[in-house]
Amino acid sequence: MGRSSEESPLRRIHSEASLLGGAAYAILLQIAHPSVAQGVHDHSDFTSRPLDRLRGTLYYVYGTSLGTDEERARVQAIVRAMHRRVNGPGYRALDHDLLLWVAATLFHTWTRLYELTVGEIDEDEYPVFLREAAVFATALGLPEEEWPATPEAFDAYWADAVGRLEVGETALRLSRQIFRPANRLWWPITSVQRFLAGGLLPPELREGFGIPWSPARQRRFDRVVRVTRTVYPRLPHALRALPSRLYLRSMRRNGGWTKPRGTWGSRASHRTGGVRG
Higher-scoring residue by pLDDT: 10, 74: 10
pLDDT tens figures, 157-182 = 999 999 999 999 999 999 999 999 88
Residue-range domain boundaries for the chain: 9-272
What does the mean pLDDT of the chain come to? 86
Determine the straight-line distance between the first and last CA of the chain, rounded to whole angstroms: 25
Q: With bands split at pLDDT 50, 70 and 90, how would you rate the model's confidence at 51?
A: low
**Do residues 81 and 275 make contact, with C-beta atoms less than 8 angstroms apart?**
yes
How far is it, in rounded angstroms, from Cα 153 to Cα 200?
A: 22
Written as one letter, the residue type at 81 is A
3-state helix, strand, coil in the chain (%, to 5): 70, 0, 30
- Provide the pLDDT for residue 260: 43
Nearest of 41, 144, 38 to residue 99 by alpha carbon = 144
Mean pLDDT over residues 56-77, rounded?
A: 88
pLDDT tens figures, 188-198 = 999 999 999 99
